[in-house]
Structure formats: structure tokens, C-alpha cells
Chains A and B, each alone.
Chain A
Amino acid sequence: MRRAAATTRPPVARRLSTRLGAIVVAAVVVALAGALVLVDQLYGRVQRDQLEDLLLRDLARVAAVVRAGSLGSDFIAQGTGEVRLQFVTHAGQVVLAGGDLEPIALATVPTSTRAAGRHELIGSTVWVLPSGLEVGTVRMALDVSEADTARAALRRSLLASGAMLAVAAGALAWLLVARALRPLADLAGQAVVVDPAAPRLARYRGPADEVAELARALNLALDGIRERQQAERDALAEVAHELAAPLTVVAGELRQLADLRPDDARVRAARDAADELLHTSQDLLTLARGELDRAPDLSVVDVAEVTRGVADGYPGATFAFDGGDARAFAHPDRLRQVVRNLVRNALQAAGAGRVRVRVVGGGDVRLRVEDDGPGMSPEVLARAFDRYVSGRPGGSGVGLTVARRIVEAFEGRLEVRSAPGQGSVFEVMLPGWRSKVEHED
């Protein structure tokens, strides 16, 4: 039995591409996030260093100027909102302040403080009078909220462009993974539909990577199987060649002898045995030579007439024709093979006198072979048409296989109904000739 060709790709390969795609996308996202955090941190540090430099420089300038005799109030007057300057005595008394009076904490190194919704960088230096007397500290607070705003803006734009990058990179990664896996999926698809009876090598189109390796290994295995099959086929053909002539001669001469001596039961028995031998060999060879793989020559065949002709050769079977147009497109020799196999199968199952053959014409043509034999168990029934599987000991297991393949080549159906104790019914349905003919004027 040929396996139906799968038209969809196997789900296995798809799951793999999904998984790999997700992994790659996740990796891309994590790397991007890391890079963005790093950029943000670096920016923050640079920004802070610059602000600290600014603060320290300003403090040093103020301290130097005050020491040189200038008045602190000169600076205070210039004080903008961004910078607060305070002169604080050792006793902790703020004697001069610009901006609001919120005391600036003492910080010997630049320190970031947050208080009352303000983010400031504060620092201090010693307050030395022109006389050289150290009286306290000069404290300065730099409002860095603008820097904060700038950093927040940077973060926002980093996040936005990062997200876009992530989406783009993810999509690209997904595409690339799917593309990289296509040869694999393709290979899997081809492997799924390999016909075990006639394995064809897989075609591989893709880079020379592990998948190529897999394709090579697969083809090596298939090639081995094919070679082996070919060797077996050749051997069978050789045997067939050796047997063909003697078989034809024995069956043919016995037939002519039986025609000459119609009353000799032993000659008839020999003729029937030879015919059976001949027909079984024909079935086996039909399969072995792959003859059923080619389209049959068709002609309009009267199924009732052909069936009657075959059934007449088996005295153990009765034939009935229900009338109607029983013509269908078929090949007479092949159709005879079908009827013969069904009748022989039924006779072997039920014995003489318990097999009925019936043809029903009109529209589709039905050919039914019924027997009162023991019937088949569901297990046997399920494999009834499998090649080399026989329901009875000593059976070759090709008769029904061949019959079904032939019927299918005629675009018909061969079905079976059976149950233990209820006998079996094999039914061939062939489309009536009219359904195949186009009407033209």
C-alpha cells in the first residue's frame, strides 16, 4: 500500500523553529537591555563627574576670592536659582546666604542630597578671611534636577529605540532561523513521505552544514535500501524468468489436454492446480515488477460478462447478474485477475458451495463476492489488503493487495465487510462508463 503523500509540513520541524526563534529573540532582547543599561550608567557617571568638577571649581574660586578680600555678598547677589551659596561659621551659624535659607549640610566631598523635592549636589571648602583666620566653611549646593531631566529623557529615548531595535532584531532573527531551518523542515517533509516500497532519495538544497550531513546520511541509508530492493527485485525477476516459460507450458498444455479429455477428473485437477500456480505467480510478479505503478490501458469492459467468465471456471461459486448496464472503463485481463482473486479467496475461506458472486449494473457497477466462511476478526480485517499479510496459514498475502491496487487503478473502490461467524463480503465499485464520458455535440 502506498502511503498518502503528506501535503503539510511535519509539526516537529515547526516546533523546533519556534523554539530556536524564541531562544534567539530572547538572547537578542537580553543583550539589548544590557547594552542600554550600560549606556545609561555610563552617561550617569560622566554627568555626575562633570557636575562635581563644576561644583569644586566654583567653590575653590569663591574661597580664593573671599580670601583675597572680596565680599561674599557679591556672589550672593549673583546667585541664580540653580546655585545656593552659604557662609557658615564654625559655630554653625549661617552668616550669609543666597537663594533660600534652607541650611546646606556639611559635605567635605561632593555629595548628592534629596530634600524637599530638590535634588542637589553639595560641597564645601574652608572659609578663610584675608587675615588668614579660618572662620568656618563656604558651602555650595548645585541644583541638578535639570541633569536628572536630561538623563530621564535619554532613558526614554533609549527605551524607545531599544524596543524598536528589539522588535526589528527579533523579527530578523526569527526569519533567519526559519530560513536556516527550512532545509531541515524540507528534509523532514521528504522523509515523512518516503514510500517504503520504492524509496526515492531526498533532494537537499541548502548550505553544507549539519543538515547537509543529515541529508547525506539519510540518502546513504535510502540508497542502501534501494540497492537492496533492486537486488531482490532483480533476483526475483531472474527466478521469474526461469519459471515463466515452464509455468506457461505446464498450465497451457494441461488446459489443452483437459479440453481434449473433458471427462478425466485427474487431468482437470492437474489443470486447476497449474492454473492456480500460474495465477499466484502472476500476482506475485505483478507486484514485484511494479506493473501496477503504470497506468493501465483502458477500454469499456462489460463487468458482468468478464465476471461470469471467471466465475464459470469455479464450480464452487454461483454467479448472478441483476441486470442494468454493467460497463465500466477497465482492462479485461486485470479485471479477471481481480475477480479470480476475490473468488479464490472466498472459496479458500468458506469452501465450495458457499460463495456467491453477484454483479449489479446501472450507474456505478458493483461486483460483490460473498461467502459463508468463518469471517474475519477486526485485526485480520484491518490488514486484509496489506501486502504479504495473509489471513490464513500458507496464503501468500498478495491476492487481495493486487485486487485492490488494480481496482484503484480503474478509479474504483474495493471494500470488505466481515465479522467472526458472519462470513465476508468483498465489494468492488467501479464508476459506470457514462460518468467518465464527456458529452459533446
Chain B
Amino acid sequence: MPPAHLLVVEDDARLRALVTEALASAGHRVTAVATGGDGLAAAALGDVDLVVLDLNLPDVDGLEVARRLRADGEAAILMLTARGDVGSRVEGLYAGAADYLTKPFDVRELLARVHARLRERRGLDDVVEHAGVRAHADTRVVRVGEAGAALPELEFEVLRLLLASPGRVFSRDDLERRLYGDDLPGSNTVEVKVYQLRRRLKALGVGDLIRTVRGKGYTIL
């Protein structure tokens, strides 16, 4: 995993020290702050790839911090929660746009989650490649060997998400929320996008790239 710039927002000093140390030993650059206000300030300086965000902060509610972070930038968010119901709130609000980890946690699990999020985010402004398929975010061009095609925005977004997390199953709900945020469109829009995307991929010779997982969603293996 190439080094990234991580922001840790956690009010418990011991936990902040542990998380900072663990992420730093994995080779990342870490900025650690204790309050939501400081966190937003640090994020405003830009250049943050991922925020490890405690939900229970002394000044601003963690969910509010997450909302503002999302509004201002592209940083991925990993929430730390101690209460299960908060976990479900996060899930409902962001459906994958933010991941969460419940306390107590094993630092190794934290690292695994951070890395999964970073991998996923990388496809956002970069080139994401898997199974011989490359997706270029700047031009929305997908290349398979010598062949290539430009994709419409939403179809490219679907492909990018699936390519960035090989093996992960994205439910229709997940994809819908990622594509449209809170303004949910009609019921089968995602199906239509995936269908069109598959047709384009077939023309490139990789028609079976996107798999349907029965009753669960879509994935790329």
C-alpha cells in the first residue's frame, strides 16, 4: 500500500496515540487531532486521503463532521463507534460512502479497513486496474488491452467502484446511494446502468466482467 495522508480525529488521547502509531508504522503520514473543529480545520488544508473519525467527539457530533467533510472534499471516511445503533445510523446515512468500525477493535482490523478504503479511493482520481481492465478517471475511458471506450459518467462510476474493490459485493442500494446521494432515482435505474455498462464491456471483449450475485448485488472478481 503506497503511503497516504491520514487524519485521525479522536478525543481519547490513548486511543489517538495507538491509532496514530499503528498507521504511522504502516508507512502513512498521520495528522492527529482531538476535536471535530480541529479535524475540519486540518481537512480544509486539503491533501487528506482518509479520515479516521470518532463518532463521539466533545465539540461537534461525529456525524456532522462527516457530513461537512463529505461536502467539502473527497476524503474517504472511517468512523469509529462504540454503540451499535450509531453504527446502523452511519450505515443508513452513508451506505458505504463511509465505513465504520465498532470499538473495541483490533488494530490489525483497523489497518485492513483503512487500506481497503484507500484502495477504493485511489480509483477516484487515478487509474484503477484489475483483471486486465483499466479505468482512467480523468477521461472516463476504460481500456482492455489495445481496445478502449469512453463511458458516460454514471456507468464509469459504477465500473470504478466495482474495479476498486474486487470481490466486494455492492448491493443495488449501495450503488444507488453512491451514484445519486440522497436524491434517489427510480427503482431500476441501477439495473439499467449495469445493463448498459455490460453491453459496452462486451464490445470490449469482457462481457462477463461484472457478475450478479443472486439476491445481493454486483461484483467484479
Contacts and interface: CB of A to CB of B under 8 A. Distances in A.
A294 interface: yes
Interface string A290-312: 11001001111100000000000
A288 B14 contact: no
Contacts of A176: none
Contact of A245 (B14, B198, B202): B14
A438 interface: yes
Given A299-B165, A299-B167, A285 B213 contact: no
B12 interface: yes
B28 to A, nearest CB: 15
B88 to A, nearest CB: 6
B68 interface: no
Given A298-B216, A436-B214, A251 B104 contact: yes
Contacts of A252: 18, 22, 106-107
Contacts of A288: 84
Interface stretch (B38-46, B135-143, B204-212): B204-212
A264 to B, nearest CB: 19
A437 B112 CA distance: 26
- Chief secondary structure at chain B's binding surface: mixed
A440 interface: yes
Contacts of B87: 289, 291
A32 interface: no
A243 interface: yes
The winner among B12, B83, B84, B87 for most chain A CB atoms within 10 A is B84
A289 B91 CA distance: 14
Contacts of B125: none
B219 interface: yes
Contacts of A332: 112
- Size category of the A interface is 35 or more
Interface string B85-110: 10110010000100000111111110
B169 A282 contact: no
B221 A300 contact: yes
Interface string B159-180: 0000001111100000000000
Interface residues of B, number: 41
Contacts, number: 119
B153 interface: no
B12 A299 contact: no
A298 B169 contact: yes
Contacts of A294: 88, 91
B169 A278 contact: no
B59 interface: no
Contacts of B150: none
Nearest to A241: B82
A275 interface: yes
A171 interface: no
B126 interface: no
Contact of B219 (A255, A300, A333): A300
Contact of A247 (B104, B207, B211): B104
B82 A275 contact: no
B12 A245 contact: yes
B47 interface: no
Given A244-B102, A297-B169, 15 more contacts: A237-B84, A237-B85, A241-B82, A245-B12, A246-B14, A248-B15, A256-B25, A256-B107, A282-B104, A289-B83, A289-B84, A291-B84, A300-B168, A438-B211, A441-B202
Interface of A: 237, 240-241, 243-249, 251-253, 255-256, 275, 278, 281-282, 285, 288-291, 294, 297-301, 329, 332-333, 433, 436-441
Interface of B: 12, 14-15, 18, 21-22, 25, 56, 82-85, 87-88, 91, 96, 102-109, 112, 165-169, 198, 202, 207-208, 211-214, 216, 219, 221
